[in-house]
Amino acid sequence: MTNGIMAAYGRSDPNAAYARDYHEGCTAGRILSQEKGIYRLISEKGEQFAEISGKLRYHAKRAADFPAVGDFVVADCNSFQGNAVIHEILPRKSVFIRKAAGTGNTEQVVAANIDTVFICMSLNRDFNLRRLERYFAVAWESGASPVIVLTKSDLCSDPEAFISHVEQIAFGTDILLTSAMEQDGYKKLLPYIPFGRTAALIGSSGVGKSTLINQLLGEDRMETRGLRNDDKGKHTTTRRELFLLEQGGMVIDTPGMRELGLWDTGEGLEQSFSDIKALAAMCRFCDCSHTDEPHCAVQEAIAKGELSKERFQSYQKLKTENRYTEDTEGYLAEKKQKFKNIAKVNKSFRRR
């Protein structure tokens, strides 16, 4: 098997073998961008535009059933004219889903198969531990590993004080301190994006995500705009949203990624508030609401100063805001089943 371009894009050999088994002439590719149903695909055949097969479209029940940036797919890339055809999405290792505010079950997959998510927060007015907790929950929920990046350290006289605050909610997650004023500041991110791994940056507007991404890429991304598809005489401009870094590794930057963290979900919430969960397990009543019940371990911890009242309030707030519908739970169950399935597929390949 050749160790071609797809290794750099994080393709695993089982993916390629699966694609070949799927259909003669099919290959494993990765989605680089997506716009109005036209995908930009990278495969051993190079970069090309792609669209989904009629069968995939027919069976798609929800937004999550369509390919998203970062997805590995099985595609027929041999067409001499026209676009490649995407037949199947390979199981996702991680997935970032955005639920459109206020419109029921509308969900959108903003990116898939991200290994490392940098949660960015600046050390100025934007700094807010409660917001950081939200982003943390989003990261755990996705399946990607979080790393906290405290930006604009040049604007802060005592960054160590901020770090010790963050440590209290980070539970051992790595915390990086960066400043765009330092020429090599962004290099602290590189160890988390080795060859074949994919990273993304989330955080509020203006914290310095673009600045970091541009430094990582060593170029102005605007130059990468304007890929054209002249096959059908139409001009489709698709902005690349998955970038290969010179030293290996990839960065995904989709507009949707930037708006994450404004909603929240169940699983990640429990994980980023594991301390409260552990306390709750010690309450006398198993259905304790942690308000005025006797022998409430949560209230006792707050009284003793072991748990901050603000942290508990933000946990309560996220719980009540929780827009997790039955639908989304179904999706998660499905996702877990998919993980089990790919584990099985991988196992069977190892046996061969």
In sequence order, what DSSP letters do the residues of 134-153 get, joined into one string?
A: HHHHHHHHHTSEEEEEEE-G
159 binds ligand GTP (CB under 6 A): no
The 10 Å Cβ neighbour count of residue 85 is: 21
- Three-state DSSP at 318 gives helix
Residue 328 binds which entry of Zn ion, ligand GTP, none, CB below 5-8 Å type-dependent: none
Q: Which of 44, 47, 65, 154 binds ligand GTP (CB under 6 A)?
A: 154
Q: Does 176 bind ligand GTP (CB under 6 A)?
A: no
Pick from 148, 253, 134: nearest CA to 199: 253
Q: Are 34 and 49 in contact (CB under 8 A)?
A: no
Per CB under 5 A, which region of 94-102, 112-120, 259-267, 281-289 contacts Zn ion? 281-289
288 touches Zn ion by CB under 5 A: yes
Show Cβ contacts of residue 279 under 8 Å, excluding neighbours closer than 6 positions: 297, 298, 301, 307
Size, binding site for ligand GTP by CB under 6 A: 15
Contact string 237-276 vs Zn ion (x = CB under 5 A): ----------------------------------------
> Is the separation of the CB atoms in 245 and 256 below 8 Å?
no
Q: What is the distance between the alpha carbons of residues 146 and 173, in angstroms, rounded to a whole number? A: 7
Confirm whether residue 152 is marked as ligand binding: yes
Nearest distance from residue 307's CB to Zn ion, in Å?
11
Task: Among 53, 105, 108, 210, indicate the residue that binds ligand GTP (CB under 6 A).
Answer: 210
Task: Return the number of the residue (155 or 278) whose C-beta is nearest Zn ion.
Answer: 278
Determine, following the binding rule CB under 6 A, whether residue 258 of this chain makes contact with ligand GTP.
yes
Estimate to the nearest angstrom the gap between the alpha carbon of 341 and the chain centroid. 21
* Binding status of residue 254 toward ligand GTP by CB under 6 A: no
What are the residues whose beta carbons fall under 8 Å from the beta carbon of 86, sequence distance 6 or more?
A: 29, 39, 41, 50, 51, 52, 53, 56, 67, 73, 74, 75
Query: Any contact of residue 151 with ligand GTP (CB under 6 A)?
Result: yes
50/31 Cα distance (integer angstroms)? 9
Q: Which of 211, 229, 236, 308 binds ligand GTP (CB under 6 A)?
A: 211
Distance separating alpha carbons of residues 114 and 70, to the nearest angstrom: 7
Residue closer to ligand GTP (CB basis): 101 or 181: 181
Residues in region 177-196 near ligand GTP by CB under 6 A: 179-181
Q: State yes or no: residue 208 binds ligand GTP (CB under 6 A).
A: yes
Assess 74 for contact with Zn ion (CB under 5 A): no
Q: Binding of Zn ion at residue 307 (CB under 5 A)?
A: no
Q: Please tell me whether 174 is known to bind a ligand.
A: no
Helix (H, G, I), strand (E, B) or coil at 235: coil
Q: Summarize the annotated binding site for GTP as residue ranges.
A: 151-154, 203-211
By CB under 5 A, name the binding residues for Zn ion: 283, 288, 290, 296, 298
